[in-house]
């Protein structure tokens, strides 16, 4: 019998809390891997994707601080690749150790992934993806003075952040490699930060200065590799109607058509829950299989079907 194949998308809390040091992020990633190993123990073939918003923004700031003729700042697409490498390394290292601790003989590998986007995607003209640190309202004018080319917006009541363009993925360039690696029983870590945004010009792929939403890339990969389930792990136990209001109500199971009505009615936050739901609906509609949005800490209960919001046909 073939194993179930699961694509897991990991949100910010899987990597970073408040301490952006490598040590703290590696500790968070280790804790995440201790949750993820439950999928492997339950005999599932795992494909891991993750975000990079805080990390790529911090890296750009480091580039700007060091910028000189001898040591020029590197562009956003290259910084995206650097975070695919660095965060991928943390996951590869911690997952390997966790598998060994659990006496599971399996390899893990990070694949630098390029995500093809449309050069005319309107997102290039209107930045929406928050990256890097949060700023307080009183700091904003100072930051704008230091970085006149930045767009800074308020991020879901959590503070102010720089935003960059976030085009939609059309195709995952390396998906045949992802397929081959997964078929070989190896756990691939792919499309970190949504993958490096590239546009196709003849035989060439040209990097673009943008950050793709990892939930959309995870959905695209799950469709391309014919995954049995897309699981989006974040910091809440599930999706709520009227989130944050006294009458909020957790959704345990909903059809793609029903939740689409609520998305169309603009009921979900654009910078957080809406893209996750759109990614889930796209996967369910294209494959007929289900997607789950739930908490990283609830992996065992999600596998048992006891927790998380299930979106199905």
Ligand X SMILES: Nc1ncnc2c1ncn2[C@@H]1O[C@H](COP(=O)(O)OP(=O)(O)O)[C@@H](O)[C@H]1O
Ligand Y SMILES: NC(=O)OP(=O)(O)O
Name the minimum Å distance from CB 30 to ligand X: 18
- How many whole angstroms separate alpha carbon 5 and alpha carbon 147? 44
Binding partner of residue 308 among ligand X, ligand Y, none, CB cut-off 5 to 8 Å per kind: none
- How many whole angstroms separate alpha carbon 288 and alpha carbon 9? 19
Name the minimum Å distance from CB 183 to ligand X: 28
- Residue 155 has phi, psi (to 5 degrees) of -110, 100
Alpha-helical segments (H) within 15-146: 22-41, 53-66, 76-101, 140-146
Name the minimum Å distance from CB 120 to ligand X: 27
- How many whole angstroms separate alpha carbon 168 and alpha carbon 172? 11
Binder of ligand X out of 12, 127, 169, 195 (CB under 6 A): 12
Site for ligand Y, residues 199 to 218, rule: CB under 6 A: 211, 213-214
User: For residues 5 and 161, which CB has a smaller minimum distance to ligand X in the complex?
Assistant: 161
Return the ∠ at Cα 211 (arms to 74 and 309), rounded to 5°.
150
User: For residues 233 and 281, which CB has a smaller minimum distance to ligand Y in the complex?
Assistant: 233
Among 53, 57, 58, 129, the one annotated catalytic: 129
- How many whole angstroms separate alpha carbon 268 and alpha carbon 216? 16
The reply to whether 52 belongs to the active site is no
Measured distance between the N- and C-terminal CA atoms of the chain, rounded to whole angstroms: 24
Residue 272 binds ligand X (CB under 6 A) = yes
- Residue 227 has phi, psi (to 5 degrees) of -70, 155
Contact pattern from residue 3 through residue 32 relative to ligand Y, giving x for each residue in contact according to CB under 6 A and a dash for the rest: --------xx--------------------
Residue 238 binds ligand Y (CB under 6 A) = no
List interacting residues with ligand Y (CB under 6 A).
Answer: 11-12, 51-53, 193-194, 211, 213-214
Among all residues, which ones are annotated catalytic? 12-13, 129, 214, 276
């Amino acid at each position: 019998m073939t194993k179930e194949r699961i694509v897991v998308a990991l949100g910010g809390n899987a990597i970073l809390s408040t301490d952006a040091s490598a040590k703290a992020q590696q500790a968070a990633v280790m804790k995440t891997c201790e949750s993820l190993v439950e999928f492997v123990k339950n005999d599932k073939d795992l494909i891991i994707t993750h975000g990079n918003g805080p990390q790529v923004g911090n890296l750009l700031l480091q580039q700007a601080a060091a910028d000189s003729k001898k040591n020029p700042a590197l562009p956003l697409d290259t910084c995206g690749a650097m975070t695919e490498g660095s965060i991928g390394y943390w996951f590869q290292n911690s997952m390997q150790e966790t598998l060994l601790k659990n006496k599971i003989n399996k390899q893990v590998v990070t694949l630098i992934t390029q995500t093809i986007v449309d050069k005319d995607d309107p997102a290039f003209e209107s930045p929406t993806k928050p990256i890097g640190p949060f700023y307080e309202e009183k700091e904003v004018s100072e930051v704008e003075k230091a970085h006149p080319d930045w767009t800074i917006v308020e991020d879901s009541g959590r503070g102010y952040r720089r935003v960059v363009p976030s085009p939609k993925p059309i195709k995952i360039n390396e998906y045949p490699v992802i397929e081959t690696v997964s078929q070989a029983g190896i756990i691939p870590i792919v499309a970190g930060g949504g993958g490096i945004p590239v546009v196709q010009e003849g035989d060439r792929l040209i990097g673009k200065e943008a950050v793709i939403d990892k939930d959309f890339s995870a959905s695209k990969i799950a469709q391309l590799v014919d995954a049995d389930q897309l699981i989006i792990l974040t910091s809440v136990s599930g999706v709520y109607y009227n989130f944050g209001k006294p009458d909020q109500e957790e959704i345990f199971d909903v059809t793609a058509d029903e939740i689409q009505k609520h998305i169309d009615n603009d009921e979900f936050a654009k910078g957080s829950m809406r893209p996750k739901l759109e990614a889930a609906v796209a996967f369910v509609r294209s494959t007929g299989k289900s997607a789950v949005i739930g908490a990283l800490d609830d992996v065992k209960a999600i596998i048992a079907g006891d927790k998380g919001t299930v979106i199905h046909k």
